[in-house]
């Protein structure tokens, strides 16, 4: 009997519990939702797609006998080290299939090119939406929950706030993360975390996993408990011809007149600049730069992820001889595969160096201009270093 039980116990100790309920069952917050598991087809789907194998290869399937051409496209191609869409093959029954990889364990976006039209995977229940057309997601799992997954640690809460804004003349939303064990009698520092041109307020939690990342960092003793506010920084139609100059002004007004007062009224916050940070990805990083540096009496820390704007949009700030004393933490970061000598963040970093402005500059991850990069920057650099100087 001892021999009979030794193998499964050793397997569990080395690899964790086997996946019994995968393939997008949506029962638990599953770290391997697209592993084959018990072989059941996702609810309302015609086939299993995608199927993520334990060797990190992925099989996609589409039942479409009348389609003439089908290929894989989207950001996942970067992980596959190619720029060109990858064609599927069709069998006699009209089932298209494609196996790719292996891929580094991560969460990837993808789309399908179906007779020249970009569509989501019709059998994949992990479909995203934001300030852009929908997309599909594939979770390439490792041997257990990753640092961006829901692990067995204390979890914070996320509250959705609906409020009226006179700035945009309408009802808006924002999400607020409070850390595990949030105590309303204790004051917490606040990070205002912004999305990009293609994001909405829910994106940082749904796809960025910022709440799980912060939960895990706190449990690991790597980050301090904080409140994270995720507003909608879409304040003007993204295709407006004057979007850039108008959105900077409008968002600055929205932050100072509406969002910060609402947060300070409803949560126990540190209300001085040393307990208030602003950061964002892409467009949100530019908003963080402009609003943060133009209001250094309000924000002590600023994070720019895959972003930078002309220093002219912060008039007089970079000529201030006391600027280093006014900023607690300035972070400029980006992905390895989006960094070139002429990239905005590279140029901005070089200008900061020329002016002897203290900052942290970091290039990392296997990603480009995507959440592979932005999750990495949060976990490995930005969140652990917040609130460490004051």
Q: What is the pLDDT of residues 6-60, one digit of tens each?
A: 333 333 333 444 455 678 888 888 999 999 877 788 878 889 999 999 999 999 9
Per 3-state DSSP, the chain is made up of helix, strand and coil in percentages (nearest 5) of: 30, 25, 45
Contact criterion met (CB below 8 Å) for 227 and 267 = yes
Residue 66: predicted pLDDT: 94
Nearest 5°: CA angle at 372, between 369 and 373? 55
> What percent of the chain has a predicted confidence (pLDDT) above 90?
76
103-107, 244-248, 349-353: least confidently modelled range: 244-248
Domains of the chain are 15-140 (2.60.40.10), 157-385 (3.40.50.1820)
Torsion sign, CA atoms 40, 44, 46, 50:
negative
- Cβ burial of 351 (10 Å; 0-12, 13-18, 19+) is middle
- Rounded Cα distance between 376 and 378, Å, is 5
Compute the average pLDDT of residues 128-149.
91
- Cβ burial of 95 (10 Å; 0-12, 13-18, 19+) is middle
* Side-chain-side CA neighbours of residue 146 (13 Å): 18
Beta strands 190-194; 70-73: pairing state: unpaired
Q: What are the backbone angles phi and psi of residue 251, rounded to the nearest 5°?
A: -70, -40
The 8-class DSSP code of residue 269 comes to B
Residue 389: predicted pLDDT: 61
Over residues 209-263, the pLDDT tens digits come to 999 999 999 999 999 999 999 999 887 887 888 887 788 889 999 999 999 999 9
- Rounded Cα distance between 202 and 319, Å, is 37
Q: Tell which residue, 269, 280, 342, has the closest CA to residue 307.
A: 280
Residue 1: predicted pLDDT: 34
Over residues 267-301, the pLDDT tens digits come to 999 999 999 999 999 999 999 999 999 999 999 99
What average pLDDT does the chain have?
90
Q: Report the Cα–Cα distance between both ends of the chain, in Å, rounded.
A: 60
The predicted model scores a pTM of 0.91
């Amino acid at each position: 009997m001892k021999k009979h039980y030794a193998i499964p116990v050793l397997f569990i100790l080395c690899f964790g519990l086997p996946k019994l309920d995968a393939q997008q069952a949506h029962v638990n917050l599953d770290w391997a939702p697209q592993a084959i598991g018990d072989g059941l087809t996702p609810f309302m789907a015609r086939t299993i797609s995608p199927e993520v194998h334990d060797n990190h290869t992925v099989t996609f399937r589409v039942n479409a006998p009348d389609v003439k051409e089908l290929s894989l496209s989207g950001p996942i191609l970067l992980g596959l080290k190619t720029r060109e869409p990858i064609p599927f093959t069709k069998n006699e029954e009209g089932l298209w299939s494609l196996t790719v990889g292996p891929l580094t364990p991560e969460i990837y976006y993808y789309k399908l090119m179906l007779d020249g039209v970009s569509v989501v995977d019709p059998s994949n229940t992990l479909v995203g939406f934001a300030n852009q057309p929908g997309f599909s997601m594939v979770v390439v799992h490792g041997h257990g929950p990753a640092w961006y997954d829901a692990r067995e640690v204390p979890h914070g809460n996320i509250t959705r706030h609906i409020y009226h804004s006179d700035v945009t003349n309408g009802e808006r939303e924002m999400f607020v993360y409070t850390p595990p064990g949030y105590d309303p009698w204790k004051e917490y520092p606040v990070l205002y975390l912004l999305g990009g041109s293609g994001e909405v307020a829910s994106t940082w939690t749904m796809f960025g996993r910022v709440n799980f990342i912060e939960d895990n960092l706190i449990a690991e003793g790597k980050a301090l408990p904080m409140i994270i506010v995720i507003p909608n920084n879409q304040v003007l139609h993204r295709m407006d011809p004057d979007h850039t100059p108008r959105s900077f002004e409008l968002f600055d007004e929205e932050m100072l007149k509406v969002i910060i007062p609402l947060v300070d009224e409803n949560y126990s916050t540190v209300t001085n600049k040393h307990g208030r940070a602003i950061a964002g990805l892409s467009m949100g990083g530019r908003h963080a730069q402009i609003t943060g540096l133009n209001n250094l009496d309000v924000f002590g820390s600023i994070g720019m992820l895959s972003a930078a704007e002309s220093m002219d949009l912060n008039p007089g700030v970079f000529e201030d001889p006391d600027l280093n004393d006014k900023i607690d933490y300035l972070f400029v970061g980006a992905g390895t595969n989006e960094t070139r000598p002429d990239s905005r963040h590279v140029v901005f970093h070089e200008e900061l160096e020329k002016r002897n402005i203290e900052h942290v500059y970091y290039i990392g991850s296997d990603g480009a201009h995507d959440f592979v990069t932005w999750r990495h920057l949060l976990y490995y650099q930005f969140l652990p270093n917040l609130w460490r100087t004051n």
